[in-house]
């Protein structure tokens, strides 16, 4: 068997969707849709607020409320959706 081709990732000119890390994707998502307020928090506080925000998002989407950035949550964040926030603000 030949070794699987090592995929080369190319940055395409004009491609708005940057290759983000899952953490960046999640933080942007939680802020954009109102689960987390945009003011910066530090260290421990930030972790607590992220976990709480994740749980709220998981509840809204009918996912298991783990408070973790698990696979199903990341997949849900990549799905096409409406731009209106989920948490009224």
Partner 1 sequence: YQTFEGDLKWDHKDVTYRILNYSPDMDSALTDDAFARAFKVWSDVTPLTFTRLFDGTADIMISFGKADHGDPYPFDGKDGLLAHAYPPGEGVQGDAHFDDDEYWTLGTGPVVKTRYGNADGAMCHFPFTFEGKTYSSCTTDGRTDNLPWCATTADYSKDKKFGFCPSELLYTFGGNADGAPCVFPFTFLGEEYDSCTTEGRRDGYRWCATTDNFDKDIKYGFCPSRDTAVIGGNSEGEPCHFPFVFLGKTYDSCTSEGRGDGKLWCSTTDNYDDHKKWGFCPDQGYSLFLVAAHEFGHALGLDHSNIRDALMYPMYSYVEDFSLHEDDIQGIQYLYGPKTGPDPKPPQPTTVPYPDPDITDPTNDPRPTEPTTTTPVDPANDACKLTKFDTITVIEGELHFFKDGHYWKMSNRNDGNQGPFSVSERWPAVPAVIDSAFEDILTKKIYFFSGNRFWVYTGQSVLGPRSIEKLGLPNTIQKVEGALQRGKGKVLLFSGENFWRLDVKAQTIDKGYPKYTDVVFGGVPNDAHDVFQYNGHIYFCRDRFYWRMNSRKQVDRVGYVKYDLLKC
Q: How many residues does the chain have?
A: 89
Based on CB atoms, which residue is closest to partner 1, 4 or 43? Answer: 4
Under the binding rule (CB under 8 A), the answer on residue 3 touching partner 1 is: no
**Smallest gap from residue 5 Cβ to partner 1 (A):** 8
- 3-state class (DSSP) for residue 83: coil
Q: Contact letters (x/-) for partner 1, 23-62, by CB under 8 A?
A: ----------x-------------------------xxxx
Query: To which residue do tokens 């989407």 refer?
Result: 61
Based on CB atoms, which residue is closest to partner 1, 49 or 60? Answer: 60
CA dihedral (40, 43, 49, 52) positive or negative: positive
């Amino acid at each position: 068997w030949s070794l699987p081709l090592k995929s080369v990732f190319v940055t395409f000119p004009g491609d708005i969707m940057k290759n983000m890390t899952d953490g960046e994707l999640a933080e942007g998502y939680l802020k954009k849709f109102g689960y987390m307020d945009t003011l910066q928090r530090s260290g421990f506080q930030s972790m607590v607020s992220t976990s709480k925000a994740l749980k709220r998002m998981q509840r809204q989407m009918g996912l298991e409320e783990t408070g973790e950035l698990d696979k199903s949550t990341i997949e849900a964040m990549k799905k096409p959706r409406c731009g209106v926030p989920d948490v009224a603000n």
